[in-house]
């Protein structure tokens, strides 16, 4: 029994470490992109065929058509080192899940899903380089990083739940999906994350000047077909993007619309559970994260995407994902009777108010 407790403590610590490291990997990836260092190393997983960034002569001999920029190469390799460390954490959690598979309620499938996702994410990392920043892959790579981070948090919350209950005597209750409004909010958040990745990978962050208008117009010239043409050719380097101005404007405006829709979805959740003392703090944090993120988006437009604000915008997106994950976890882990009748609303009162 003591060995089981020790493994549980280690798994809980590793999942929390995974949340922190995944957050750092996401920021380092954004920094790499913002510094135009995504192709700082022309090969994968090494850099010019080496584990460490080589000198210029060695690099030139290996890839004569890709001169070494040591600073950009180190940005790229540090990102890879952090991602590799995260992979080791996932492998450790998968091993612990196998050892703890007989513990009632232990999230073995979540641990294995995390292992599968980190392998897919590694493939996306390789394709990001070999397909030369193809926007589709870059966007999926960002969404994959966010998904890994939220799975780490979900795993950690489940482990904490197991540790706080007599799991050796009774199986934990299954989590219950809370309802359509939550599904709508989660779907909008996922779509907005993909729009953010598409905006970033196509360098459309400063396609619009001004807030709330765009380039001095409420409805500027936009090419939606080209902006969301998902079968762009593979082969050329997409560093700095290939789309024309009107296509980038369409992407930028779509991202703004997504931000407004996400705000509406979160406001509906806050209003729906305004008297629920169990959920109100979680939704309050999610709404606060959204407001900060919206403010950072506006600031990035007004100040032409400075590095610090652009990184903060990525960090804000990650924090919003974490806050929303915690809120979904909270509502899905509540007993069904509390979902049907939130605290402070008696069944009779709810019927009368209806």
For the chain, give the percent of residues with pLDDT over 70: 90
The answer to whether the beta carbons of residues 146 and 321 sit under 8 Å apart is: yes
Calpha distance 302→208 (Å, rounded): 9
pLDDT in the model for residue 153: 98
Inside any domain, residue 347: no
Instruction: Tell me, yes or no, whether 107 and 66 share the same domain.
Output: yes
Provide the domain limits for residue 160. Answer: 1-166
Inside any domain, residue 277: yes
For 27-72, what is each residue's pLDDT tens digit?
A: 999 999 999 999 999 999 999 999 999 999 999 999 999 999 999 9
Q: Write down the pTM of the prediction.
A: 0.91
The answer to whether the beta carbons of residues 295 and 203 sit under 8 Å apart is: no
Average pLDDT score over residue span 209-232: 94
Spatial CA neighbour of 293 closest among 316, 276, 270: 316
User: Of 138-152, 295-309, 335-349, which range is least confident?
Assistant: 335-349
Average pLDDT score over residue span 292-305: 96
Calpha distance 72→55 (Å, rounded): 13
pLDDT at 172 over 60: no
Calpha distance 57→70 (Å, rounded): 12
Instruction: Tell me, yes or no, whether 109 and 187 share the same domain.
Output: no
pLDDT in the model for residue 174: 56
| Cα angle: 240, vertex 191, 44; to 5 degrees | 45
SS3 133: coil
pLDDT at 183 over 50: yes
- Domains in the chain, number: 2
Average pLDDT score over residue span 168-183: 64
Inside any domain, residue 344: no
Active site residue 76: yes
Which listed residue (2, 76, 348, 349) is catalytic? 76
pLDDT at 206 over 80: yes
Q: Which of 134, 166, 198 is the last residue of a domain?
A: 166
């Amino acid at each position: 029994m003591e060995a089981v407790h020790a493994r549980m403590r280690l798994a809980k610590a590793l999942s929390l470490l995974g949340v922190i490291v995944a957050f750092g990997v996401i920021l380092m990836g954004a920094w790499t992109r913002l510094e135009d260092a995504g192709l700082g190393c022309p090969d994968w997983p090494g850099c010019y065929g080496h584990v460490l960034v080589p000198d210029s002569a060695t690099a030139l001999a290996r890839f004569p058509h890709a001169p070494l920029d040591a600073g950009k190469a180190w940005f790229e390799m540090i990102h890879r080192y952090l991602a590799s460390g995260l992979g080791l954490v996932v492998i450790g959690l998968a091993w612990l899940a196998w050892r703890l598979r007989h513990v009632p309620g232990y999230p073995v499938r979540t641990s294995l899903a995390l292992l599968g996702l980190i392998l897919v994410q590694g493939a996306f990392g390789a394709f990001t380089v070999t397909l030369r920043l193809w926007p589709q892959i870059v966007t999926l790579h960002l969404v994959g990083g966010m998904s890994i981070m939220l799975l780490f948090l979900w795993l950690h919350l489940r482990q904490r739940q197991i540790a706080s209950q007599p799991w050796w005597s009774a199986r934990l209750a299954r989590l219950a999906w809370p309802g359509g409004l939550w599904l709508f909010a989660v779907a909008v958040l996922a779509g907005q994350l993909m729009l953010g990745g598409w905006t970033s990978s196509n360098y459309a962050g400063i396609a619009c000047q001004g807030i709330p208008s765009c380039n001095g117009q409420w409805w500027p010239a936009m090419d939606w077909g080209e902006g969301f043409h998902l079968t762009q050719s593979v082969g050329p380097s997409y560093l700095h993007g290939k789309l024309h101005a009107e296509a980038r404007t369409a992407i930028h405006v779509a991202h703004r619309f997504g931000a407004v829709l996400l705000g509406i979805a979160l406001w509906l959740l806050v209003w729906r559970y305004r008297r629920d003392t169990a959920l109100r703090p979680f939704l309050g944090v999610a709404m606060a994260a959204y407001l900060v993120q919206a403010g950072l988006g506006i600031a990035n437009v007004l100040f032409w995407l400075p590095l610090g604000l652009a990184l903060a915008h990525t960090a804000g997106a990650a924090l919003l994902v974490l806050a929303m994950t915690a809120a979904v976890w909270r509502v899905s882990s509540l007993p069904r009777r509390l979902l049907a009748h939130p605290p402070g609303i008696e069944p009779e009162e709810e019927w009368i108010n209806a």
